[in-house]
Amino acid sequence: MKTIIIGGVAGGASAAARLRRLDEHADIILLEKGPYISYANCGLPYYIGDVITDSEKLTLQSPKSFRKRFRIDVRVNSEALRIHRDTKQVEIRKQDGSIYFESYDKLILSPGAKPIRPNLPGIDSPRIFTLRNVPDTFAIKNYLETQKPKRILIVGGGYIGVELAENFVHAGCQVTIADMADHVIAPLDADMAAEVHQYLKAHGIRLYLHTAAQGFYDHAEGIDVQFADHKECYDMVIMAVGVAPDSTLAKDCQLSTNSRGAILVNEQLQTNDADIYAIGDVIAIRNYVSHEEGYIALAGPANRQGRMAADHICGKDTSYAGTMGSSILKLFDMSIAATGLNEKAAQTAGIPYKKVFAYAPGHASYYPDAKNLSIKLLFQPETQEVLGAQIIGFEGVDKRIDVLATAIHGHMKVRDLSQLELSYAPPFSSAKDPVNIAGFLAENLQDGLVKQLHVQDFANLDAHAQIIDVRTDDEYAAGHLAKSRHIPVDELRERLHELDKKQEVYLVCQSGLRSYLSARMLTQHGFSATHLAGGYRLYAHMMKEQPLDSSLHGICGAKLS
Ligand SMILES: Cc1cc2nc3c(=O)[nH]c(=O)nc-3n(C[C@H](O)[C@H](O)[C@H](O)COP(=O)(O)OP(=O)(O)OC[C@H]3O[C@@H](n4cnc5c(N)ncnc54)[C@H](O)[C@@H]3O)c2cc1C
């Protein structure tokens, strides 16, 4: 069996190594058009910011080490130019420009995705960079060291843009992120991203939302960037507006692709030619949760697909279950993670959902340095299955998102989250882990123990709504909804007579816990009560983003606690 693999990094290198582990006698050729194989794309932003200082650490295997360990014929600086399906051959260009043909029994395509460079005036300026691979990284680093840019614009607030922003701040630059969307990091919903926006700004990063760069104009002092209504001058621009599948080879030999250019594969990762597999950032995926066709470019799926294609070539009965988009990002001390569907994805797929917001400490609150995690959980109200989660915090975000990703993979229901037995000691968690708490909230909602309103619906309440803020005096003084009345939760039972039983009582606290307690109390005293999901904290974050033109819901006091 002779297998050619095109692309020698995440998916391709995984496939090659697995093929060898399964078949000591297979003929395996790994073609890579660049000079490196198996490099750490995900580590590249950290080399730019000097977090990783040794460039050799960026390559996990050299062609020599890979050859030695796996006896794989690694050919770097070798670009696959064309696939001749009729003769089962790949046409390859060597570094010296010469061209030769290599035959295959099986072919695996893992050419990845290219950064999108929109066709805008001035896009070819030498001051504009994209980041995909090691040479791009060296080019950016070299520009930083030799030209010493101060003002950097990052166009696109996705994972790569935001990671680069942090690393440019470490390098002493003044950073602006411009994004056409209403929030950064697309896997988050806008309500969760609001907290990230405040955090970016607190670190001196300027954020322009709803803002597209429309053209670039080089001059002696820098590069002018044209926005809709003004121009600004920068020293360097990074285009990080997303990636497009690198599928030219596939299209040229009539392999099926979708409108985005992603290669269509079956559950065995075979294209419409059964001897040609495609994996990684070049393929269209089936979303694990919604079962819709989609596109998710991540290292974990690419690596697993590489292994799986090799398994199938070696005769194993395998089938790829789909991608759910579990992802995580570090931003200074903050961690931001998501898995499964967000609201937009659920809406697009027509899947009904409910959402809850939990705000709970990463470890026991009495143990030093406890900080809260913000969790948003989406679930299907009929099946009660977990659909998706987003978490922002400073510690323990990774393990909670991975528990929730596992729950989604196992089609677990929100009640299962309440019952999960997770490890606990004060430095690591609380006896009720934040994942349990998210499950409790969803369960309470499902059981009708509490009614909740979300920030936008709360903002639409009429001017006479009975809104009670149940936080402490200090919290209320630091900032509250303009027309809310203040009755701390611990005084509520004694002051029930101050409430109008004929009217709904809308309850607000900082995170949603005390307002839930108050709602339970009032309901059992014959009131009808609804609480603000996510609390004043979430409300205030969102109002800072999009202040509502309403005297009812204006915020008094500026401080957010
Ligand atoms: C800066 C950066 C940070 C990232 N961070 C993360 C992260 O933190 N977490 C995460 O999950 N994902 C991250 N990713 C995404 C992740 O790296 C990709 O999803 C993953 O590498 C995709 O694997 P792949 O094999 O499909 O493509 P790649 O790993 O990109 O490999 C494709 C290779 O194919 C080669 N190639 C293309 N065409 C040809 C041809 N015709 N002939 C020969 N060779 C060819 C290319 O030169 C390239 O080296 C990051 C990506 C980047 C760029």
Residues 522-551: tens digit of each pLDDT: 999 999 999 999 999 999 888 877 544 444
Q: Which atom of ligand 1 is nearest to the CA of 12?
A: 25
Give the position of tokens 């420009």. 97
Phi-psi region of 457 (alpha: psi -120 to 50; beta: other; left: phi over 0): alpha
Residues 7-20: tens digit of each pLDDT: 999 999 999 999 99
- More confident call, 460 vs 242: 242
Q: Which atom of ligand 1 is nearest to the CA of 8?
A: 33
Average model confidence (pLDDT) for the chain?
A: 94
- pLDDT surpassing 80 at residue 555: no
**C-alpha of residue 200 to centroid of ligand 1, in Å:** 27
- pLDDT surpassing 70 at residue 125: yes
Closest residue by Cα to atom 37, ligand 1, is 111
**C-alpha of residue 517 to centroid of ligand 1, in Å:** 49
**Token couple for 383:** 């099946």
**C-alpha of residue 253 to centroid of ligand 1, in Å:** 22
Q: Which atom of ligand 1 is nearest to the CA of 282?
A: 26
- pLDDT surpassing 90 at residue 353: yes
pLDDT at res. 550? 43
Could you list the active site residues? 42
- pLDDT surpassing 70 at residue 557: no
pLDDT at res. 193? 96
Which residues lie across from 356 on neighbouring strands? 377
Instruction: Over range 335-347, report the average pLDDT.
Output: 98
pLDDT bracket for residue 333 (50, 70, 90): very high
**Token couple for 48:** 């730019």
Residue 301 to residue 332: CA distance in whole angstroms: 26
pLDDT at res. 138? 93
Burial per residue of 515-544, b for 16 or more beta-carbon CB atoms within 10 angstroms, e otherwise: bbbbbebbbeeebebbbbbbbbbbbbbbbb
pLDDT at res. 242? 96
Distances in Å between the alpha carbon of 275 and those of 25, 105, 245, 425?
Answer: 19, 7, 20, 52
3-state secondary structure of 452: strand
Rounded (10°) angle between helices 397-409 and 434-446: 50
**Token couple for 342:** 């967000």
Instruction: Over range 320-331, report the average pLDDT.
Output: 97
Phi-psi region of 223 (alpha: psi -120 to 50; beta: other; left: phi over 0): beta
Give the position of tokens 């709360």. 458
Sequence-distant (≥ 6) Cβ neighbours of residue 226 within 8 angstroms = 121, 213, 214, 215, 216, 217
- Tell me which residues have their CB closer than 6 angstroms to ligand 1: 6-12, 31-34, 41-42, 44-45, 79-80, 110-112, 131-133, 160, 246, 249, 280-282, 297-300, 302
pLDDT bracket for residue 309 (50, 70, 90): very high
Q: Are strands 113-115 and 243-245 parallel, antiparallel or unpaired?
A: antiparallel
pLDDT at res. 549? 40
The three-point CA angle 94-97-99 to 5° equals: 65
pLDDT at res. 56? 84
Q: What percent of the chain has pLDDT over 90?
A: 89
**C-alpha of residue 9 to centroid of ligand 1, in Å:** 6
**C-alpha of residue 300 to centroid of ligand 1, in Å:** 11
Instruction: Over range 134-158, report the average pLDDT.
Output: 96
Residue 434 to residue 361: CA distance in whole angstroms: 7
Residues 373-425: tens digit of each pLDDT: 999 999 999 999 999 999 999 999 999 999 999 999 999 999 999 999 999 99
**Token couple for 152:** 């950097």
Sign of CA dihedral 160, 162, 167, 171: positive
pLDDT at res. 559? 42
- pLDDT surpassing 90 at residue 287: yes
Contact 279, 309 (CB under 8 A): yes
Instruction: Over range 161-175, report the average pLDDT.
Output: 95
**Token couple for 526:** 């014959």
Closest CA to 395 of 372, 417, 418: 372
3-state secondary structure string across 149-192: CCEEEEECCCHHHHHHHHHHHHCCCEEEEECCCCCCCCCCCHHH
Residue 229 to residue 242: CA distance in whole angstroms: 24
pLDDT at res. 547? 47
Contact 80, 90 (CB under 8 A): yes
Burial class (CB in 10 A: 0-12, 13-18, 19+), 333: exposed
**Token couple for 291:** 């079962």
**Token couple for 478:** 């630091």
pLDDT bracket for residue 231 (50, 70, 90): very high
**Token couple for 5:** 């693999």
pLDDT at res. 554? 55
Closest residue by Cα to atom 6, ligand 1, is 42
Instruction: Over range 208-219, report the average pLDDT.
Output: 96
Give the position of tokens 């882990």. 433
Closest residue by Cα to atom 23, ligand 1, is 10
Sign of CA dihedral 42, 43, 45, 46: positive
Closest residue by Cα to atom 52, ligand 1, is 41
Sheet holding 151-155, edge to edge: 128-129, 236-239, 151-155, 174-178, 206-208
Question: Biggest alpha carbon distance in the chain?
Answer: 90
Residues 29-75: tens digit of each pLDDT: 999 999 989 888 888 999 998 888 888 888 878 889 999 999 999 99
Closest CA to 454 of 357, 343, 549, 333: 357
Q: Are strands 466-469 and 485-486 parallel, antiparallel or unpaired?
A: parallel
Which residues lie across from 257 on neighbouring strands? 263
